[in-house]
Structure 1
Amino acid sequence: MESITKNRQSLDTLRAMVSRAYGPDEVIPDGEDWVSELGHGWFNVAYRIRLRSGRESVLKIAPPPGVEVMTYEQGAMGIELASLRMIEEQTDVPVPHVDYADQSHELCDADYFFMPYIDGDNLGIVEATLEPAERVAYNESLGALNRKLNSVVGPWFGRLAGPPDPTWRTAFRRMIDDVLSDGERRSVDLGVSYDLVRELIAEAEPSLDAVTEPRFIEWDLWTSNVMIRDGEIVCIIDHERACYGDPLMEAGFTALDLPVFGDPAPFMRGYGWGPLTENEVTRRRLYSLYLILIMIIETDYRGHTDTVQYDWARERMAELLALFGRSR
């Protein structure tokens, strides 16, 4: 996926980064067949690197400082590094170990880190080739792992990097207001007025008061961030959008509102979440609204050269309006 947020570096800079992380003995001095870009990411650039010893690693680089990102994406790599440490220390969910992280901006103009290359298939890429029973099994496993992630209790509500909020209602309102402000700043057409969206939020947000304990929320745990091998999930990647909030916000529940995301039943079985209460239905719709707003607005910030995602997300916005009992 192409995006102006991808901060590509020269071979000389990449060699210097490898040397700093692993030592000069691991650097491949000549040619360029030791490095290749992993192209399916949406935000950061990532390189697959073969070290002199033969082992492989992945280098992930944050966007360049001159590219404006959405408010919730600011400091995203720091959030990912904090998330990886927390998950590794407090759960047994398989995530990449951070080999080396550099936030000095001495070798390149952004944060970066190295992690081992995961030998496996990306579930989001191969799932269409799997048997239905295999897809069900993986999604049940994903639900169970997601519950383990949500078992981590946070110190506040909101983004891992702060600012801290005392209630989930306050935190979520700040998060969704930031997204709306991002859209207004770029005059992004939502297909519906910003005032109407704010009305929907104000009417539904009292439901958020039912959430009283801040839990670690991965939020971006789609199948495209799941690595599999030999019938098992071997790693979960991409943790830069994590926050402390309501587990019902997790991606696996999105299909409860928007059927285009597939069947949520296997994920919910694996997670152990039963039928939603009236309060949970309202909260879940707010979270789907938050997601679709981002999917519409980010197309402008990422410099998309076509309207495929924008048009698709606008259709989902129309579906959500109907769920809220409104029209354009």
Structure 2
Amino acid sequence: MESITKNRQSAAALRAMVARAYGPDEVCDGEDWAGELGNGCFNVVYRIRLRSGTQAVLKIAPPPDVEVLTYERGAMATELAALRLVREHTKVPVPEVEFADRSQEVCDAAYFFMSYVDGDDLHTLRDTLTDAEKEAYDERLGAITRELNSIPGPAFGPLTGPGTRTWRPAFLRMVDELLRDGERRGIALPCGYDLIRGLVAAHADALDEVTEPRFVEWDLWSGNCMVRDGRVVAIVDHERAFYGDPLMEFGFAGCESSAFGDSTAFLRGYGHPPLTEPERIRRRLYNLHLALVLCIETTYRAYSDDGHYDWACGHLRETVALLGG
């Protein structure tokens, strides 16, 4: 999807970045050595061929003059931290960071190079899979998510800090930041801002059940799962990770909304029993947060198609109703 946050660079700038990362001898001449990978909606991502024939992936942060959502500020630093944590503490396959530069000397934003992963994203392939194959992948995503959630955190909140000792204030801040982002740009929501704040406050006691901060990938859906020959070969796009409640993972969203599919196979792979009543309340709160993100980001990214916004608003109405609004 097209977004104004995609910070496309000239061929000369890309060559300068390659030279800084790998040395001038690896800079290619001619054509077809760099091509944009178009699946992402936030950062621009390029597939780069080096002179040696090796391929790499270049990811560039948004332009400095483009306003992003509050939680998206410093997203590249978050992704670099997440990649390091996943590599150090799990066996979940992720790309290797080969070079990172935040100096803004050859580009107007931070960027990093990572290893190229030969595979297809699972979302693109889903329509070609049998039901049994889809379930097997969803089970595998459940197991991968549980492994990611095994990483302990020092506090609740951003990977790069600062954090809070308890989960309730951390989550309430996440929701409040989104609502302030929406109000600042005058974004219309199908439910009033004050109504949403009231609903979250009324159900906030359920958050106190969460006492241990854990690594939460949050954006682990099929589009960020790379597969090849029936295997998961990499999980990509980690810029939304934080320390929080594992129940906030995307794979659990279908437990309280059919809009995100069926979570049965995911739960089986994760090894999670059916949700308790407090867990269902928390998951509804997390679906509310997810719906707010999906609604509000459409304005910040200047999507040309209203379909994404309309779908997200429908999900927001559904979740508000489940919470008694």
TM-score, normalising length: structure 2: 0.99
Q: What residue in structure 2 maps to residue 292 of structure 1?
A: 291
Q: What residue in structure 2 maps to residue 191 of structure 1?
A: 190
Q: What residue in structure 2 maps to residue 98 of structure 1?
A: 97
Q: Percent identical across equivalent pairs?
A: 61
Distance 1:28 1:122 in 2: 27
Letter in 2 for 1:75: G
Distance 1:278 1:81 in 2: 36
Q: What residue in structure 1 maps to residue 323 of structure 2?
A: 324
Aligned-pair Cα RMSD in Å: 0.7
Distance 1:85 1:184 in 2: 35
Q: What residue in structure 2 maps to residue 244 of structure 1?
A: 243
Q: What residue in structure 1 maps to residue 225 of structure 2?
A: 226
Contact 1:11–1:32, Cα closer than 8 Å, also in 2: no
Letter in 2 for 1:47: Y
Distance 1:162 1:52 in 2: 39
What do the CA deviations read for 1:302-323 (whole angstroms, capped 9, x no partner)? 0111211000011111111221
Q: What residue in structure 1 maps to residue 10 of structure 2?
A: 10
Q: What residue in structure 2 maps to residue 119 of structure 1?
A: 118
Letter in 1 for 2:36: E
Contact 1:217–1:247, Cα closer than 8 Å, also in 2: yes
Q: Which structure 2 residue ranges, 5 or more long, are not aligned?
A: none
Letter in 2 for 1:51: L
Q: Which structure 1 residue ranges, 5 or more long, are not aligned?
A: none
Contact 1:268–1:274, Cα closer than 8 Å, also in 2: yes
Distance 1:220 1:48 in 2: 22
Letter in 2 for 1:138: Y
Distance 2:123 2:52 in 1: 30
CA deviation after TM superposition for structure 1 residue 164, in Å: 1.2
Q: List aligned pairs for 1:7-156, cutoff 5 A.
A: 7-29=7-29, 31-156=30-155
Q: What residue in structure 2 maps to residue 161 of structure 1?
A: 160
Contact 1:56–1:117, Cα closer than 8 Å, also in 2: yes
CA deviation after TM superposition for structure 1 residue 202, in Å: 0.4
CA deviation after TM superposition for structure 1 residue 262, in Å: 1.0
Letter in 2 for 1:191: P
CA deviation after TM superposition for structure 1 residue 161, in Å: 2.1
Contact 1:220–1:250, Cα closer than 8 Å, also in 2: yes
Aligned to 1:99, the other structure's residue is in SS state: strand
Distance 1:161 1:303 in 2: 28
What do the CA deviations read for 1:99-132 (whole angstroms, capped 9, x no partner)? 1001111100111000111101110111111111
Distance 2:12 2:249 in 1: 40
Q: What residue in structure 2 maps to residue 200 of structure 1?
A: 199
Distance 2:314 2:64 in 1: 33
TM-score, normalising length: structure 1: 0.98
Distance 1:99 1:76 in 2: 18
Residues paired across the two proteins, number: 325
CA deviation after TM superposition for structure 1 residue 325, in Å: 2.2
Contact 1:3–1:43, Cα closer than 8 Å, also in 2: yes
